[in-house]
Amino acid sequence: MDSVTAFGLAYLLGSIPFGLVLTRLFGAGDLRQIGSGSIGATNVLRTGHKGLAAATVLLDAGKGVLAVLLAARLWPGTEGLAAVAAIIGHCFPLWLRFKGGKGFATAAGVLGALAWPVLLVCAAIWALALALSRTSSVSSLSASAAAPVASWLMGYPAVAAVMAVIAFIVFFQHRANIARLRAGTEPKIGGKS
The per-residue pLDDT for range 48-75, each reduced to its tens digit, is: 768 888 999 999 999 999 999 999 999 9
The whole-number pLDDT of residue 65 equals 98
Contact predicate 56/79, CB 8 Å: no
| Higher pLDDT pick, 43 / 58 | 58
- Mean pLDDT (whole number) for 12-41: 82
Query: At residue 111, what is the residue type?
Result: L
Compute how many other C-beta atoms are within 10 angstroms of the C-beta atom of residue 18: 25
Is the pLDDT score of 192 beyond 90? Answer: no
* pLDDT number for residue 124: 98
Residue 30's pLDDT is 75
Structure confidence by residue, pLDDT tens digits, 81-129: 999 999 999 999 998 889 899 999 999 999 999 999 999 999 999 999 9
What ranges in 15-135 are assigned the alpha helix state H? 18-25, 41-45, 50-74, 79-91, 104-114, 116-133
Which pLDDT score is estimated for 33? 76
User: pLDDT band for position 191 (50/70/90)?
Assistant: low
106, 155, 184 from 162: Cα distances, Å: 13, 14, 31
On the CB side of 135, how many CA atoms lie within 13 Å of its CA? 15
CB atoms within 10 A of CB 72: 16
Residues 83-117 as b or e (16 or more Cβ within 10 Å = b): bbbbbbbbbbbeeeeeebbbbbbbbbbbbbbbbee
- What average pLDDT score do residues 7-30 get? 88
